[in-house]
Amino acid sequence: MIDIPKKGKKFILARHFEGSPTHDNFKLVEFDIPDLQEGEILVEALFLSVDPYMRPYSARLLQEGTSTMVGSQVAKVIATKNGEYPLGTRLVGYWGWCTHSVVNPKNIATGMIGSFTHFPDIGNLSPSLGLGAIGMPGNTAYFGFLEICQPKEGDVVVVTGAAGAVGSLVGQIAKIKGCHVIGFAGSDDKVKWLVDEVGFDKAYNYKTADWDKCLKEAAPNGVDCYFDNVGGPLSTIIRNNMKDFGRISVCGSISTYNDKTPTMAPACEAAFVFKQLKMEGFLVSRWKSRWMEGLSQMTKWIQEGKIKVRETYTEGFEKMPQAFIDMLNGVNVGKAIIKV
């Protein structure tokens, strides 16, 4: 018999971010869990995610002082009045930073907030992967790299944010496709992990390396594909080292998310014109109709040992703000996960 809680906890956005997030941006509150109505289910979070997109999305989607902080979680059904969702059913949902949610599956949100999917069959793999390599970050890497960069065997691929949840997967997908992979990450330990364990051909600490020199050594004939997670001046240098007809997939710009004033970078038009480059940004929701295709392929590659996954765990729901701050500061390796 499952003990149904009467109260849940959630973090609301106490005030919008100005510069780097602090604990003052969040407020932990308790709320009453309402009785279920016919057709509804009650889900309880097992694992929650913190991701870079939460920083810019909060300004666009959330109301200061009232909105639950945006985010996803792996949850299980602990009470149900819906025969299609029996007890124990696992779901991946965008219910934000909260421990419990009452959901009516008939009222599935069309946007990101409030939407959910059934948890895929991943065998004996950890359910936390539903927030990482077999979830949104996995599909971001799979579709964002393969569909936009269109890699070919022998291509030289550069990945920034290479030790993160998405970047580490992009590099491994590129290796599966027969590419030569170069990564930039934020510490010597991450660089060592990328080369020794993940299988990158070259990796560099962007904080200490001479970017242009590294690229000319690692890719003397130029770069074919660039998967951009960070933006900023590093991206300018990489674009200048690309081959003619190079392809650039823009996933994010984490180097600028905490800026109080816009980052100034050199004009990029000359490189685009004379190298005839193609750059395209994307939201992974573009491939919503093919969602399970990506998750199935990522699951298969992990089970075959072709993709290695690393997660950085934080224990305890109350520590979500610190996990978020740490993630934006590059403390995590691989996917940042909160275990409730």
**Domain with 13 in it: what CATH number?**
3.90.180.10
Q: Does residue 46 sit within a domain? A: yes
Name residue, tokens 């889900």.
43
Residues 37/82, Cβ–Cβ less than 8 Å: no
One domain for residues 118 and 148? no
One domain for residues 143 and 278? yes
One domain for residues 141 and 242? yes
Confidence class of residue 290 from pLDDT cuts 50, 70 and 90?
A: very high
- Residue 223: name the closest of 209, 212, 210 by CA: 212
pLDDT at position 37: 96
Q: Does residue 299 sit within a domain? A: no
Euclidean distance between CA atoms 20 and 190, whole angstroms: 22
pLDDT at position 135: 96
Lowest-confidence segment of 113-117, 153-157, 181-185, 235-239 by average pLDDT: 113-117
Is the model's pLDDT at 320 over the cut of 70? yes
One domain for residues 323 and 260? no
Q: Does residue 122 sit within a domain? A: yes
* Average pLDDT estimate for 102-131: 88
Give Cβ neighbours of residue 234 (< 8 Å, ≥ 6 apart): 160, 184, 206, 211, 255
One domain for residues 115 and 149? no
Residues 211/218, Cβ–Cβ less than 8 Å: no
The residue with greater pLDDT, 194 or 265, is 194
One domain for residues 146 and 127? no
Give Cβ neighbours of residue 274 (< 8 Å, ≥ 6 apart): none
Residues 227/137, Cβ–Cβ less than 8 Å: no
One domain for residues 141 and 191? yes
Overall domain count for the chain: 2
Confidence class of residue 264 from pLDDT cuts 50, 70 and 90?
A: confident
Is the model's pLDDT at 326 over the cut of 70? yes
Q: 37: number of CA atoms within 13 Å, CB side? A: 6
CATH code of the domain containing 207: 3.40.50.720
Q: Does residue 297 sit within a domain? A: no
pLDDT at position 110: 67
Q: Does residue 295 sit within a domain? A: no
One domain for residues 105 and 59? yes
Full-model pTM: 0.94
Which residue range forms the structural domain that includes residue 223?
A: 136-285
One domain for residues 108 and 237? no
Q: Does residue 298 sit within a domain? A: no
pLDDT at position 154: 98
pLDDT at position 268: 85
- The DSSP code for 300 is H
* Average pLDDT estimate for 230-259: 93
Residue 230, both tokens: 């960070």
Burial of 270 (0-12, 13-18, 19+ CB in 10 A): exposed
One domain for residues 231 and 96? no
Q: Does residue 300 sit within a domain? A: no
Q: Does residue 326 sit within a domain? A: yes
- For 30-55, the pLDDT digits (tens) are 999 999 999 999 999 999 999 999 99
One domain for residues 233 and 257? yes
One domain for residues 159 and 241? yes
